[in-house]
Amino acid sequence: MPTAHRVVIAVFPDVDLLDVTGPAEVLALANRQTGRAVYQVRLAGPAAGGVRTSAGVRLLTDVAFADVGAEVDTLLVPGAVDMTADGPVARTDGEVVAWLRETAPHARRIASVCAGAHMLAAAGLLDGRTATTHWSTAAQLAAEHPEVTVDPDPIFVRSDRGRLWTGAGISACLDLSLALVAEDLGEQTALSVARQLVMYLRRQGGQSQFSVPLSRPATDRRDIDELRLWIADHLDGDLSAAALAARMCLSERHFARVFRQETGTSPAAYVEAARTEAARRLLETTDRPLDQVAAAAGLGSPETLHRAFRRQLATTPAAYRRRFRTQPA
């Protein structure tokens, strides 16, 4: 029987509740799926006892920071955000940072959830590395820690040869936790847990925090919003400006003007971004050749697929697949 993974989640006053309970639930479901206690999850805080979260719900820690010891497989660091007149500001808890400096060198794996990346950075663990965090505090992380390369787009980022993980905001804690399960127990176990969570698809780390339809706010015109959703469901169809204008019963010139006014981009650019996102998902989750990926995503040919990836992602489809392809269990 393999040794159980000892997972310690740091908690502190006003910590975001889902950042703690989300990963804990994923790991508990992994135990249930395998029928054994693969993960032993413990909450650690400044002292043993109650900690009030940002949601007002109180958590009970299992152990004080001082008593955690060195035998830690995975350290999970959730985040906390203060709302100010200038917007969200990530909180850095001094006791957590001090504990990280002392304990992190002994852990096999360290992961932050949401704004928890700010505490990893304050502890010096992200120096010289690429990291992500919630999109709303990414600029703060970059400004306060110029030694960290901040990428606000991915759902999670792995660095330090897979030892260091940083996750994006809020519900992305589930994606990061599922990726940890996949690394430990294989892809099939992670997908089984995802099904238990009623998650439609376990997103990969390279995916954006926002899908193309969600990356732009709702417009003032319901018909444009409905068209955007229709585009996402018909990527392999005729999505030329003329065809979309006809669907909207507008002249092509008037449609292009209205679409740009409402979305901030041209119909052609929006369609290419949506098709590129679909191609990304296929490259991440299948071994289909590039001509089939291009056809399924509506990009037509491998040459068009390459041009779209160069414009949208500054990389090639093959390089993207090598980096983000989910390996079989």
**What CATH number is attached to the domain comprising 43?**
3.40.50.880
Q: Which of 149, 166, 196 is the last residue of a domain?
A: 196
The verdict on 191 and 221 lying in the same domain is no
The verdict on 97 and 160 lying in the same domain is yes
Q: What is the pLDDT of residues 22-35, one digit of tens each?
A: 999 999 999 999 99
Q: Is residue 171 part of a domain?
A: yes
Residues 104, 114, 185, 271: which is the catalytic one?
114
Q: Is residue 201 part of a domain?
A: no
- 50: exposed, middle or buried (C-beta count within 10 Å: 0-12, 13-18, 19+)? exposed
The verdict on 119 and 220 lying in the same domain is no
Q: Which of 144, 162, 196 is the last residue of a domain?
A: 196
Q: What is the pLDDT of residues 176-227, one digit of tens each?
A: 999 899 899 988 888 889 888 877 444 555 545 444 544 455 556 788 888 9
Q: Which domain holds residue 299?
A: 212-329
pTM for this prediction: 0.67
Beta carbons within 10 angstroms of residue 314's beta carbon = 7
Q: Is residue 220 part of a domain?
A: yes
26 membership: H or E segment, kind and range: helix 17-34
The verdict on 187 and 235 lying in the same domain is no
In the predicted model, what is the mean pLDDT of residues 93-110? 95
114 catalytic residue (yes or no): yes
Q: Is residue 97 part of a domain?
A: yes
Q: For residue 151, what are the contacts with CB-CB under 8 A and spacing of at least 6?
A: 130, 131, 132, 157
pLDDT band at 86 (very low <50, low <70, confident <90, very high): confident
